Amino acid sequence: MDAIVLLKEDHKTVEALFKRFEQAGERAHVEKRRLVDTITKELVTHAYIEEEIFYPAARAKVPETGDHVLESIEEHHVVVWMLSELKDLDPADEHFTAKVTVLIENVRHHVEEEEKDWFPQVRSAMGRKELQELGERMAEAKADAPGDPLAVKSAKA
């Protein structure tokens, strides 16, 4: 599996979950809690494989995208802290949906920057073989991802 294809598939998975959250009724607290737990698992796993494997490899291969990598890590930082707050927040709390809404905005912005500006540069710098190999490593590393959002490296960035 090509690394960039894998990451884009993850982006699609979370986008579908975001849409379900946005369509959930105001009082659908049980469904919203479940969706946020699934979103957390998906995003933490995704951030983990990007930070452990993809970002360092991309930075080494395309040093001129270094600023992109650093900004992306700061964006992950905000996302994992928001996820850690949502973990203990009651979906009936008036802050819950507001927090998820801002989380979704942040992630959409982040994904757009990755896909539009940065990934194409990485794709043209890396060969197909290298992207395949990275993709395989990332697919395997998913099993090692932490459950706790704050266990991802960017939480301490």
- Reading the block at residue 34, the tokens are 């479940």
Smallest distance, Å, CB 7 to Fe ion? 5
Determine the longest span between alpha carbons in the chain, in angstroms: 49
Integer Cα distance of 5 and 147 in angstroms: 24
Each residue 53-92 as x (binds Fe ion by CB under 5 A) or -, in order, gives ----------------------------------------
Contact region for Fe ion (CB under 5 A) — 16-24, 48-56, 117-125, 134-142?
48-56
Instruction: Using alpha carbons, select from 36, 32, 31, 34 the residue that is nearest to residue 14.
Output: 36
Contact region for Fe ion (CB under 5 A) — 18-26, 50-58, 128-136, 137-145?
50-58
Closer residue to Fe ion (CB): 30 or 102: 102
The torsion angles phi and psi of 76, rounded to 5 degrees, stand at -60, -40
Q: Which of residues 91-120 bind Fe ion (CB under 5 A)?
A: 114
Closer residue to Fe ion (CB): 32 or 110: 110
For helices 66-87 and 29-49, give the axis angle rounded to 10 degrees.
Answer: 150
**By the criterion CB under 5 A, which residues form the site for Fe ion?**
50, 114
